[in-house]
Amino acid sequence: MCGQWFVRPAYPLIQLDHVINDSTPPSTNVTICEDLAAGVTQNTAMRLTPICVGIARLRSDARRLLGTSCCEDDIHKVFDYALEVNALLESWAQSVGDDWHWVAADHFKTPLGLPKSMFSYRGRMDIYYDIHMVGVWNFFRTKCIIVLSILLDCIAALDLSFGGTWQDLKRVAIHKLQDLADDICGTVPLILGTRMHLGLEGGPAIEYPYVNNQKVTEEHRRSAVNVGGWKLIEPHQQPLKTVANIPYLREGQKEWLLAQYARILRIYKITAADSQSSR
**For helices 48-65 and 10-22, what crossing angle results, to 10°?**
10
The pLDDT of residue 271 is above 60: yes
**CA angle at 263 for the pair 218 and 211, rounded to the nearest 5°:** 40
Please return the burial class of 215, using the count of CB atoms within 10 Å of its CB with bins 0-12, 13-18 and 19+: middle
For CA atoms 40, 41, 46, 47, the dihedral sign is positive
Lowest mean pLDDT across 148-157, 200-209, 244-253: 200-209
Do residue 130 and residue 173 come from a single domain?
A: yes
Cα–Cα distance for residue pair 106/175, rounded to 1 Å: 26
Say whether pLDDT at 152 is over 70. yes
Residues 34 and 164 in one domain: no
* Residue range 45-55: mean pLDDT, rounded: 91
Q: What is the DSSP letter of 235?
A: T
142 SS3 class: helix
Q: Does 20 or 192 have the greater pLDDT score?
A: 192
**Domain membership flag for residue 199:** yes
Confidence of residue 205 (pLDDT cuts 50, 70, 90): confident
Looking at per-residue confidence, does 82 or 28 come out higher?
A: 82
Q: Are 208 and 189 in contact (CB under 8 A)?
A: yes
Inter-CA distances, 44 with 99, 121, 225, Å: 11, 28, 25
Mean per-residue pLDDT, 60-82: 88
**Same domain (yes/no): 83, 106:** no
Higher pLDDT, 25 or 130: 130
Q: Does residue 124 share a domain with residue 62?
A: no
Q: How large a percentage of the chain has pLDDT more than 90?
A: 62
Q: Is 110 helix (H, G, I), strand (E, B) or coil?
A: coil
Last residue of a domain, one of 95, 129, 156: 95
Do the domain assignments include residue 17? yes
Given 77, 95, 113, the domain boundary residue is 95
The C-alpha atoms of residue 218 and residue 220 are separated, in whole angstroms, by 5
In this predicted structure, the answer to whether residue 104 has a pLDDT above a threshold of 70 is: yes
**What pLDDT is recorded for position 42?**
58
pLDDT of residue 154: 92
Q: Considering 56, 71, 95, which residue would you say is the last residue of a domain? A: 95
Mean pLDDT check: name the lowest of 24-28, 57-61, 197-201: 24-28
- C-alpha 188/C-alpha 119 separation (Å) is 8
Q: What is the mean pLDDT of the chain?
A: 83
Structural domain boundaries enclosing 80: 7-95
**28-32, 65-69, 93-97, 270-274: segment of lowest average pLDDT:** 28-32
Residue 2 lies in a domain: no
Identify whether residues 276 and 185 lie together within a single domain: yes
Distance, in Å, from the CA atom of 72 to the CA atom of 209, rounded to the nearest integer, reads: 49
| Range name among 71-75, 102-106, 114-118, 233-237 with the lowest pLDDT average | 233-237
Predicted pLDDT at 171: 93
Confidence (pLDDT) at 55: 95
Query: What pLDDT sits at residue 124?
Result: 97
Whether residue 57 is found in the same domain as residue 105: no
Residues 88 and 119 in one domain: no
Q: What is the dihedral of CA 167, 168, 169, 175, to 10 degrees?
A: 110
Q: Mean of the pLDDT values across residues 191-215?
A: 82
pLDDT of res. 3: 33
pLDDT at position 181, please? 98
Answer yes or no: do 136 and 66 share one domain. no
> Residue 26, CB half-sphere, CA atoms under 13 Å: how many?
13
List, for residues 123-132, the tens digit of each pLDDT value.
Answer: 999 999 999 9
The answer to whether the CB of 166 falls within 8 A of the CB of 155 is yes
The predicted structure's pLDDT at residue 9: 37
* 164-170-176 Cα angle (round to 5): 135
Question: Side chain identity at 50, as an amino acid letter?
Answer: P
Does one domain contain both 60 and 118? no
Nearest-angstrom CA–CA distance, 66 and 62: 5
